[in-house]
Structure formats: structure tokens, C-alpha cells
Amino acid sequence: MTTVEILRALVAFDTTSQRSNLDLIDWVADYLAAHGADVHLVRSDDGRKANLLARIGPDAAGGMVLSGHSDVVPVAGQSWRSEPFALVEREGRFHGRGAADMKGFIAACLSAVPAWQRDRLKRPIHLAFSYDEEIGCLGVPRLVDSLKARVQAPALAIVGEPTGMRIGVRHRGFFGHRALFSGLAAHSSDPSLGASAIEPAAHLVTRLARLRRSLDRQGQRATLNVGRIDGGSAINIVPGCCEVLWEFRPEDEAAAERVRTAVHRILAALPAGVKVEAEQVAGVPALSARGNEPAVSIARTLGALWPEAELPFATEAGFFQQAGIPTVVCGPGFIAQAHQPDEWIAADQLRAADGFMASVGAWAMRDVAGRLHASRRE
């Protein structure tokens, strides 16, 4: 199957994050097994979703991990010219939910598998496809744990998020937080009978805004945003509950710890009388350029574009880096087309990805010392 044919099949699966991804994962697993790959599924606790880990080539160290996520963002509330879950070509662009982010990359990986299997690879190529990346990389930690247990030390990982085939060498992390305030509802004609949950929530929001301005003044490469406040039930009722959701994006773990410490102090200083429960609901580590030189060097030899880029969005790359694997981000398409109505990827980007995958195969035909193994191709 060609990359476009596989992309058409992948887009047809509605893998919006709140839905199961098993139909897509089973299809991919069957495809890979039919081409002789070693396939392993890592299921979620409830069994509704699964990560996929596959190996093409020998069970050996020094291979390459190609990572992508199977889930997509919702289409609700968006105006599409065509059915979102049916790939449509218009003027050299392939439209469909996930075409750019990031089923195009997965399709390019899968279409290359038959050629990789015909070659006598000296180094393995590992495919690592996760679930629930779009809502906080929830499946990736379990996938990386399985990778560490089943795979001999890879030389590098490439996360195929849409970068226009440029090499992404760093990005900030993402940490989402939730605070639930529980007060006491009462008729507003006598507020003394209740305890407002909104007032301390407003205090938290004000302090978080002050912290954000402080980070800006100090020139720290971290951002903070209060994204949602939900509380109260009516204008004449003292609100008994209020929820605040916020996130921050640090450049590294040291910056993350500084923000966590500041937030902890803010929570500890909130007015008494209302119960507050605070928790982290999502955590995605930053990707650092330090230590990734081997991955950058290899990606450049494969045809990835440079100069290297600092990415404005978070990816699962930091998880692989934390596992000791040099990691870069590089994939077809552009983030500006992701998550949008009529999401699309250009045909020339898919062709570039196909060329990249051919180079991956050529790289894997050489041993660690760079010696080329004879091909099985006729």
C-alpha cells in the first residue's frame, strides 16, 4: 500500500481522544504482522485503548525508534467542507482529521515496512504508536516503560510531529493543574450562612497572574496560563464549589520546579474556611537540546531539513529523552494546519516523508561501524 492509501485508511478511524483507538491499532497490528514485524500491544488499564510497539529487523541494540500518536482532536464545532474522517484530495492537499497531526507520519512509516523487510537490516527500526497524546501524553509513559523492557538500547528516537521535515531539537514542557474549591452554598440574602468557593478561587487566579508577570520580568523561559474557571450555580446563591484549571510550560525541569514551588506557596497562603484540593492532571517533560547531538547528526544524514528549530508546542519527545534516548522531532506537514477545520497535509510533504523513510532503511542496513549489509532486493 502507498502512503496515501494507508493515510486514507487511518483517517477513516475516528480516534478522537475520548474514543477507543483499538480499531486503528488492530488494523495497524494486522498490517505489520502480515509483513513479518514483531508486534506488541500495551493496553490501558480499562482495556479501551492501546499503544503499539513493533520491531522490523534484528533484536539488537543501536536501532531507531519512530514515534507517533494515534489519537486526534475533536471536530465538534468546526465547519468542514468535507467529511472529517474521509481523506479528500483538493489541489495537491490531502484533507482529513489527523492528516497533518500525525497520521501522515504514521502512514509513511507503515508504507516503508515492506521495503525494510526485504532489506537485510543490521539495525532494528522500532515503531512506537501511543494513545491519548492530545490530552496530556497519557499513554506515552506506559509505552516508554515497555520500550525500555523489550528493546535493546536504541541509538535515537524521532518523534514525527509536523515540523515541515525540519529538525526540532527543543521545546518547553507542559504541566496541567486543577484546583477544586469546596465551600458552603447558602441563600445570598444572608451570606454569613455559607462560604464562597469563588472568592478564594479568585485569589488563586490573581496570584497566578502575578506569578506569570514575575516570570516575564525575570526573563524566564516559562509561560503560565489560567485556562478555565467554573463555579457557582445562580446569582442569588453563595457558591459552594469552584474549579480552576491552569497550565505552565517550562524550558527544563529546574524551571518547572521553580514554578511548582511558587504555586505551592500560593496555595498554602490561601484564606482559610474553604477546602481546596489541588492536583496535576497532565505532565509532559520538556525536550532539551543537550545530549541530543547524535540524534541531530543522524536526522540530518537522513534528509531532515536544518537549521534546527525550537518548537512552540510540546510533544512526547521528552519522555524518550528522559529514558536516555537521544531524541529529535521531525515529521511531515505543519502545525499551523493541525487541529483546524479542513486539516490538511500537502502531497509534497508526504513525498518528502517517503524519501526520509527510504533513508531510514538505508541507515538501518549499516551496522554500528557503518558497514553496509547486502540487500535481499532483486
310 and 357 co-located in one domain: yes
Is the residue at 250 inside a domain? yes
Q: Cβ(333)–Cβ(104) under 8 Å?
A: yes
Identify residue 124 by its one-letter amino acid code: P
Quick check: 162 pLDDT over 60?
A: yes
Query: Is 133 part of the annotated catalytic residue set?
Result: yes
What is the rounded CA–CA span in Å between residue 330 and residue 167? 5
Which residues neighbour 275 within 8 Å (Cβ) at sequence distance 6 or greater?
A: 181, 182, 183
The catalytic position among 71, 101, 134, 161 is 71
163 and 179 co-located in one domain: no
Is the residue at 144 inside a domain? yes
Find the mean pLDDT for residues 3-18.
Answer: 98
Quick check: 295 pLDDT over 60?
A: yes
Domain total of the chain: 2
Q: Cβ(65)–Cβ(360) under 8 Å?
A: no
What digits encode the pLDDT tens for the residues 210-249? 999 988 887 667 889 999 999 999 999 999 999 999 999 9
- Please indicate whether residue 113 or residue 292 has the higher confidence score (pLDDT): 113
Is the residue at 320 inside a domain? yes
The catalytic position among 101, 119, 133, 308 is 133
pLDDT of residue 153: 96
Task: Identify the domain boundary among 226, 247, 280.
Answer: 280
110 and 250 co-located in one domain: no
pLDDT of residue 373: 56
Domain encompassing residue 358: 3-171+286-364
Detail the DSSP E strand segments found in the chain.
Answer: 38-43, 50-56, 64-69, 88-90, 93-95, 125-130, 156-159, 166-171, 174-182, 186-187, 222-231, 237-238, 241-250, 275-284, 305-311, 327-329, 344-346
Portion of the chain with pLDDT greater than 70, in percent: 97
pLDDT of residue 372: 59
What digits encode the pLDDT tens for the residues 364-378? 999 766 665 554 444
144 and 8 co-located in one domain: yes
What is the rounded CA–CA span in Å between residue 147 and residue 316? 14
Q: What is the CA radius of gyration of the chain?
A: 23
259 and 307 co-located in one domain: no
Going 134 to 327 to 120 to 55, the CA torsion angle's sign is negative
198 and 164 co-located in one domain: no
Backbone torsions φ then ψ of 154, nearest 5 degrees: -75, 155
157 and 112 co-located in one domain: yes
The CATH number linked to 192 is: 3.30.70.360
Is the residue at 373 inside a domain? no
The CATH number linked to 63 is: 3.40.630.10
| 251 DSSP assignment | S
360 and 260 co-located in one domain: no
Task: Identify the domain boundary among 258, 280, 302.
Answer: 280
pLDDT of residue 4: 99
Is the residue at 334 inside a domain? yes
Q: For the chain, what is the mean pLDDT?
A: 94
Which residues neighbour 308 within 8 Å (Cβ) at sequence distance 6 or greater?
A: 166, 167, 168, 169, 289, 296, 328
What is the rounded CA–CA span in Å between residue 50 and residue 40? 10
290 and 232 co-located in one domain: no
E strand or H helix that includes residue 190 = none
16 and 137 co-located in one domain: yes
What digits encode the pLDDT tens for the residues 327-368? 999 999 999 999 999 999 999 999 999 999 999 999 999 976
186 and 41 co-located in one domain: no
Is the residue at 185 inside a domain? yes
251 and 270 co-located in one domain: yes
Task: Identify the domain boundary among 280, 309, 330.
Answer: 280
Is the residue at 357 inside a domain? yes
Is the residue at 372 inside a domain? no
Query: Is 251 part of the annotated catalytic residue set?
Result: no
